[in-house]
């Protein structure tokens, strides 16, 4: 076993892992972070997406030992102070049905908006191209992310200013 | 489904230490960079190493540069790095076109170009494009450095010219000596991410010279020397394109697998060669569609 320390959603975490343990399983089973989902386990479906040093990656294709010293953000870290403007936009558009793909898609779109605050529909499509939704909700998902960008909510990770009168 | 085999993991401080470690452990050890292939292979028990040597810490293997009139893709340069590189966009647009068609953003953020040619699966996307650019693979091992032309790199499915103890440090892509334009065509079962059923890379040079290479239709990414000879110095008439497509099919040895039949691959390569040649020639003339479009989805002949 090796002891590794990394930042998980803003907090330093230390955990003992065997080299063959996959990051996705360690996050879920050893650290109790359940938003990354176990889907295809071969990098195709995007359900296990996490942000590693700010970039969306497949946690099913990373060994836990590899992330020593790095920064990981999961959905739990994105919405910890309440839903972000992007998440609010997803809610307004009723963009998810079963929600299995949602953590991955929210993270992929969050990373996109941080890099490119006003993406086109095509750019959103490209950013989430490896995140499969089997409820076929892509249109609403894409529109949500485009609208979040259009409304100038570039700081996608900050929670939305609550204007309950508008809802 | 977790990884069944157990192995040791080391992340040496220096490249020379990594090479020493790899040389000592020989075929029991494997180099780990992005891991998008390797971790999948470990899951599927396709490989069972005793040791993984993580090379991600080495600064000298990171990034994309330009030296001696060649693009230098460090061993740790990811496909996302390629897509974000201004240098690549300006001078190696064919490389960029290919990188944009590899898997998905989440995989490209991790997968390296060098890893792609080290995995050396027949459908690897980088293979055909590096073939037409006449790229060179730079290797460092216990006996020093050596350079392997890309044409001698691939030996068979998942087999390369690398020797035990060696690490690929970079792949260099020479800047074409003449004005050039290219086209990469990737045939997939559906839009979005998929491995290639077949791929064709064309690099067209001023003076009517053409280089062609194919992916997923032979044990390795291969050039099409007979088709190149047929086209040399010629204007791309409809008749010549037809002939080139037919000749290209004779230069490949496709098989039937889960993604396609060999018959379909052959039929489609003929079409892909015509479209790739036409598109590359149009781009060379300053016309033609922007890089990044899928010419298999267009209504061209």
Residues of B in contact with A63 (CB under 8 A): 9, 32, 35, 39, 52
Is the pLDDT at A105 greater than 50? The verdict is yes
User: What is the location of CATH 3.30.465.10 in chain B?
Assistant: 8-175
Two structure tokens written together for A36: 């990354």
User: What is the location of CATH 3.30.390.50 in chain B?
Assistant: 180-297
CB B187 within 8 A of CB B197: yes
Q: Under an 8 A CB cutoff, do A127 and B5 touch?
A: no
Is the pLDDT at A104 greater than 60? The verdict is yes
Residues of B in contact with A56 (CB under 8 A): 105-106, 109
Is the pLDDT at B301 greater than 90? The verdict is no
What confidence tier does A159 reach under pLDDT thresholds 50, 70, 90? low
Q: Under an 8 A CB cutoff, do B2 and A25 touch?
A: yes
What confidence tier does B298 reach under pLDDT thresholds 50, 70, 90? low
- ipTM value for the complex: 0.93
Sign of the alpha-carbon dihedral angle for A96, A102, A108, A109:
positive
Nearest-5° Cα angle at B267, B266 to B271? 110
Separation in Å, CA of A70 to nearest CA in chain B: 12
Pick B193's closest partner by Cβ from A61, A108, A129: A129
The C-alpha atoms of residue B104 and residue B126 are separated, in whole angstroms, by 15
Rg over alpha carbons for chain B, rounded to the nearest Å, is 19
Is the pLDDT at A163 greater than 50? The verdict is no
How far, rounded to the nearest angstrom, does the alpha carbon of residue B84 sit from its chain's CA centroid? 18
Question: Cβ contacts of residue A141 below 8 Å, gap of 6+?
Answer: A90, A93, A95, A96, A105, A109, A124, A128, A133
What confidence tier does A79 reach under pLDDT thresholds 50, 70, 90? confident
Indicate the CATH number for domain B8-175.
Answer: 3.30.465.10
Of chain B, the percentage scoring pLDDT greater than 90 comes to 93
Helix (H) or strand (E) holding A145: helix A138-150
Q: Under an 8 A CB cutoff, do B106 and A126 touch?
A: no
Separation in Å, CA of B250 to nearest CA in chain A: 33
Sign of the alpha-carbon dihedral angle for A125, A126, A128, A130:
positive
pLDDT at A81: 87
Pick A19's closest partner by Cβ from B2, B52, B105: B52
Q: Under an 8 A CB cutoff, do A2 and B192 touch?
A: no
pLDDT at B192: 77
Separation in Å, CA of A43 to nearest CA in chain B: 7
Residues of A in contact with B9 (CB under 8 A): 2, 19, 63, 65
Query: Rounded to a whole number, what is the distance in angstroms from the first to the last CA of chain B?
Result: 46
Pick A65's closest partner by Cβ from B9, B80, B106: B9
Residues of B in contact with A39 (CB under 8 A): none
Q: Under an 8 A CB cutoff, do B110 and A58 touch?
A: yes
pLDDT at B299: 57
Per-residue pLDDT, averaged over A122-139, amounts to 92
CB B22 within 8 A of CB B31: yes
Mean of per-residue pLDDT scores for chain B: 96
Q: What is the pLDDT of residues B209-261, one digit of tens each?
A: 999 999 999 999 999 999 999 999 999 999 999 999 999 999 999 999 999 99
Residue of B nearest to A68 (CA): B11
Q: Under an 8 A CB cutoff, do A46 and B6 touch?
A: no
DSSP A26: I
Residue at token pair 């060696």:
B166
pLDDT at A165: 37
Q: What are phi and psi of B67, to 5 degrees?
A: -150, 140
Residues of A in contact with B39 (CB under 8 A): 22, 60-63
Pick A130's closest partner by Cβ from B6, B80, B106: B106
pLDDT at B62: 97
**Of B187, B213, B183, which is closest to residue B198 (Cα–Cα)?**
B187
Would you identify the CATH topology of the domain B180-297?
A: Enolase-like; domain 1 (3.30.390)
Q: Under an 8 A CB cutoff, do B42 and A20 touch?
A: yes
Q: Under an 8 A CB cutoff, do A108 and B103 touch?
A: no
The C-alpha atoms of residue B197 and residue B96 are separated, in whole angstroms, by 20
Q: What is the pLDDT of residues B77-96, one digit of tens each?
A: 999 999 999 999 999 999 99
Q: Under an 8 A CB cutoff, do A43 and B42 touch?
A: no
The C-alpha atoms of residue A46 and residue A59 are separated, in whole angstroms, by 9
């Amino acid at each position: 076993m090796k002891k590794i320390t990394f930042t998980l959603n803003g907090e330093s975490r230390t955990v003992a892992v065997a080299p063959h343990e996959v990051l996705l399983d360690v996050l879920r089973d050893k650290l109790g972070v359940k938003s990354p989902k176990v889907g295809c386990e071969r990098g195709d479906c995007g359900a296990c997406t996490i942000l590693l040093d700010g970039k969306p990656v497949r946690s099913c294709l990373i060994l836990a030992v590899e992330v020593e010293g790095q920064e990981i953000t999961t959905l739990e870290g994105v919405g910890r102070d309440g839903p972000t403007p992007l998440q609010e936009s997803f809610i307004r558009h009723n963009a998810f049905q079963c929600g299995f793909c949602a953590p991955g898609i929210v993270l992929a779109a969050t990373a996109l908006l941080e890099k490119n605050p006003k993406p086109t529909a095509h750019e959103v499509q490209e950013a989430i191209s490896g995140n499969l939704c089997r409820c076929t909700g892509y249109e609403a998902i894409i529109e949500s992310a485009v609208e979040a960008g259009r409304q100038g909510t570039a700081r996608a990770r900050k929670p939305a200013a609550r204007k309950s009168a508008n809802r | 489904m977790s990884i069944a085999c157990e192995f040791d993991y080391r992340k040496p401080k220096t490249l020379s230490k990594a090479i020493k470690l790899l040389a000592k452990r020989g075929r029991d050890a494997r180099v780990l960079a992005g891991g998008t292939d390797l971790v999948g292979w470990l899951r599927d028990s396709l490989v069972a190493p005793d040791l993984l040597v993580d090379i991600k810490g080495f600064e000298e293997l990171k990034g994309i540069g330009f030296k001696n009139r060649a693009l230098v893709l460090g061993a740790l340069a990811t496909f996302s790095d390629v897509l974000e590189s201004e240098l690549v966009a300006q001078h190696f647009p064919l490389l960029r076109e290919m990188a944009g068609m590899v898997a998905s953003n989440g995989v490209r953020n991790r997968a390296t170009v060098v890893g792609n040619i080290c995995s050396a699966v027949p459908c690897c996307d980088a293979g055909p494009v590096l073939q037409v650019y006449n790229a060179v693979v730079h290797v460092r091992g216990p006996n020093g450095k050596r350079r392997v032309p890309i044409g001698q790199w691939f030996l068979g499915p998942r087999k390369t010219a690398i020797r035990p103890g060696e690490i690929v440090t970079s792949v260099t892509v020479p800047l074409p000596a003449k004005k050039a334009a290219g086209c990469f065509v990737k045939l997939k079962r559906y839009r979005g991410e998929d491995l290639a059923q077949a791929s064709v890379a064309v690099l067209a040079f001023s003076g009517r010279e053409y280089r062609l290479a194919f992916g997923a239709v032979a044990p390795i990414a291969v050039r099409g020397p007979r088709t190149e000879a047929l086209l040399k110095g010629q204007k791309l008439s409809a008749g010549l394109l037809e002939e080139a497509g037919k000749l290209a099919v004779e230069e490949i040895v496709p098989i039937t697998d889960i993604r396609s039949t060999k018959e379909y691959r052959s039929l489609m390569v003929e079409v892909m060669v015509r479209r790739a040649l036409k598109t590359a020639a149009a781009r060379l003339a300053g016309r033609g569609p922007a890089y990044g479009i899928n010419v298999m989805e267009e209504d061209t002949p």
